[in-house]
Structure 1
Amino acid sequence: MTPYPLTWLYAPGDRPKVVAKALTAGADIVVVDLEDAVAPDRKDWARAATAELLSAAQPVPVHVRVNALDTPWAAADLRALAALPGLSGLRIPKVTAPEQITHIARTTPAADDGAPALYALLESALAIERAFPIASAHPALRGISLGEADLRTDLGVRGDAGLDWSRSRVVVAARAAGLPPPAQSIHPDIRDLDGLAASCAHGRTLGFLGRAAVHPRQLPVIERVYLPTEAELEQAETIVKAATAEQGAQALRDGTFIDAAVVAAARRTLALAHRT
């Protein structure tokens, strides 16, 4: 898997043909959804179909969003899927406490190469307040992100700007815990590509990296916004070249002051551009 995934494409677990198409759609990671996308009377069937899929390695990394821990299906999801060779990660929805992560990490069946990578979705005010304890709960946790639809309802937020504090809180918690930058939550209107692009640009300014998608047509928009521009690449190359001259902290002709933090950011920009 690329060290800088930018696109996570969701596909409903009870629709194997849609999952198969998602695997070839060009996303960095495919997320098979057993939670919101699957009706209660199809949960068991979706789990079985997903287990069959993940009994073998897949062409791209596959994560599974299992059902919330307080539902009747969560334990069965974890038992059936965690140790399968085609699984790259388990996405745990509606996490509210670090103890939930430690419990899963300690009790979930492990594959031959160790415990599955866990990803916590924070979808309530309580989860946001506990963002750092959750993010630092266990080494098996590899990332956190927001579930904005549920969070919006919990907070009673109408305008999009009302979520920005929570977004920044999650970005800071991930960084403080040594986790990768979070990916943005989905943009639900698959026809609104201009709105998606504007939302991604805003998310990038907040410190997010990449985004979840619900349709393949959203993938190139997300990549275009999150990949460095030509101007950003040129600036990063200039900074790295100046830094390798071993002249210490200095200012470029455009006034940019180069120190260790600036150089680190430039190297990350170059790595992101060559992430494949």
Structure 2
Amino acid sequence: MTPYPLTWLYAPGDRPKVVAKALTAGADIVVVDLEDAVAPDRKDYARAATAELLCTPHPVPVHVRVNALDTPLAAADLTALAGLPGLSGLRLPKVTAPGQITRIARTTPSAGQGAPPLYALLESALAIERAYTIASAHPALRGVSLGEADLRADLGVRADAGLDWSRSRVVVAARAAGLPPPAQSIHPDIRDLEGLAASCAHGRTLGFLGRAAVHPRQLPVIERAYLPTEAELEQAETIVKAAMTEQGAQALQDGTFVDAAVVAAAQRTLSLAHRS
């Protein structure tokens, strides 16, 4: 897996052919969805098909979004998937408390016998209020992000800007807990690529890194939005070179002051440009 995954492509678990296509679409991570994308009468089939898929590892990391944690379906999902060699991570929807994370981390083994990497989706006002305690609940938790459709409904928000406080809250919580920057929530209109690009640009200013997608055509738009520009790469290279001089902390010609934080940001920019 790349050190900085930028694209997370969702595919419905009850459509194995779609999942197979997703695995070759170029996403950094494929997320097989057992929750919202699967009708109630297809849940058992989706779980069985996903378990079969994960009997062997894949070149692309495969995560699974299980069903809501307060339902019997989630317990069945976790039992069926625990320990399978092809499972690279579990995405946990509608998390509202840190205890949900610790319980799953302690009771769900991976193929290596420890807890699998867990990712919490915060989708309610209560979850946002508890963002840091959830983000710091257990070492097995590797990331947090928003489920914006449910959050929008819970808050009664109509305009997109109404979610910006919650977005910043989860970015800060992730950083405070030592987790990677969150990936943005999906852009549901797969035809609106211009809107997707604009939304990604806004998300980047808020501190997000990468985005979930629901269709392969969204992947190049997301990647372009989050990969550094030539100007940003030039600036990052200049900062890193300046940091290697005897003067270390100094002002560049454009007035940028080079300290440890600036150098770390520049190194991350260069790492994004050389992902493998």
TM-score of the aligned structures, taking structure 2 as reference length:
0.99
Q: What is the DSSP-based 3-state SS (H/G/I as helix, E as strand, rest coil) of the residue aligned with 1:248? A: coil
C-alpha distance in structure 2 between counterparts of 1:245 and 1:52, whole Å: 55
C-alpha distance in structure 2 between counterparts of 1:4 and 1:116, whole Å: 19
| Partner deviation per Cα, 1:56-103 (whole Å, 9 max, x = no partner) | 011200000000011221001001112100000000000000000000
Q: What is the DSSP-based 3-state SS (H/G/I as helix, E as strand, rest coil) of the residue aligned with 1:110? A: coil
Write out aligned runs for 1:69-108 (5 A): 69-108=69-108
The equivalent residue for 1:167 is 167
The equivalent residue for 1:214 is 214
Which deviates more from structure 2 when the two are superposed, residues 14-23 or residues 260-269?
Answer: 260-269
Write out aligned runs for 1:1-276 (5 A): 1-112=1-112, 114-276=114-276
C-alpha distance in structure 2 between counterparts of 1:64 and 1:16, whole Å: 13
C-alpha distance in structure 1 between counterparts of 2:226 and 2:120, whole Å: 22
C-alpha distance in structure 2 between counterparts of 1:168 and 1:18, whole Å: 33
On the 8 A contact 2:122/2:146 being kept in 1, the answer is yes
Q: What is the DSSP-based 3-state SS (H/G/I as helix, E as strand, rest coil) of the residue aligned with 1:31? A: strand
Which deviates more from structure 2 when the two are superposed, residues 249-258 or residues 165-174?
Answer: 249-258
TM-score of the aligned structures, taking structure 1 as reference length:
0.99
| Partner deviation per Cα, 1:245-276 (whole Å, 9 max, x = no partner) | 12132111111111111111111100111121
C-alpha distance in structure 1 between counterparts of 2:249 and 2:32, whole Å: 47
**Aligned partner letter, 2:198:** A
C-alpha distance in structure 1 between counterparts of 2:76 and 2:242, whole Å: 55
Give the gaps of 5 or more residues in structure 1: none
Which deviates more from structure 2 when the two are superposed, residues 109-118 or residues 203-212?
Answer: 109-118
Q: Runs (4+) of structure 1 moved beyond 3 Å?
A: none
After TM superposition, give the deviation of residue 211 of structure 1 in Å: 0.1
On the 8 A contact 1:56/1:86 being kept in 2, the answer is yes
C-alpha distance in structure 1 between counterparts of 2:263 and 2:239, whole Å: 6
Give the gaps of 5 or more residues in structure 2: none
Which deviates more from structure 2 when the two are superposed, residues 217-226 or residues 246-255?
Answer: 246-255
After TM superposition, give the deviation of residue 113 of structure 1 in Å: 5.3
Q: What is the DSSP-based 3-state SS (H/G/I as helix, E as strand, rest coil) of the residue aligned with 1:258? A: coil
C-alpha distance in structure 1 between counterparts of 2:135 and 2:82, whole Å: 20
What RMSD over aligned residues (CA atoms) do the two structures have, in Å?
A: 0.7
**Aligned partner letter, 1:138:** H
Identity of aligned residues (%): 89
Which deviates more from structure 2 when the two are superposed, residues 161-170 or residues 107-116?
Answer: 107-116
Which deviates more from structure 2 when the two are superposed, residues 69-78 or residues 93-102?
Answer: 69-78
| Partner deviation per Cα, 1:193-218 (whole Å, 9 max, x = no partner) | 00000000000000000000000000
**Aligned partner letter, 1:177:** A
**Aligned partner letter, 1:147:** G
**Aligned partner letter, 2:29:** I
**Aligned partner letter, 2:180:** P
On the 8 A contact 1:82/1:90 being kept in 2, the answer is no
Q: How many residues align?
A: 276
Q: What is the DSSP-based 3-state SS (H/G/I as helix, E as strand, rest coil) of the residue aligned with 1:90? A: strand
On the 8 A contact 2:83/2:113 being kept in 1, the answer is no
On the 8 A contact 2:93/2:122 being kept in 1, the answer is yes
C-alpha distance in structure 1 between counterparts of 2:110 and 2:180, whole Å: 23
On the 8 A contact 1:89/1:119 being kept in 2, the answer is yes
After TM superposition, give the deviation of residue 110 of structure 1 in Å: 3.0
Q: What is the DSSP-based 3-state SS (H/G/I as helix, E as strand, rest coil) of the residue aligned with 1:21? A: helix
On the 8 A contact 1:79/1:109 being kept in 2, the answer is no
**Aligned partner letter, 1:261:** A
Q: What is the DSSP-based 3-state SS (H/G/I as helix, E as strand, rest coil) of the residue aligned with 1:185? A: coil
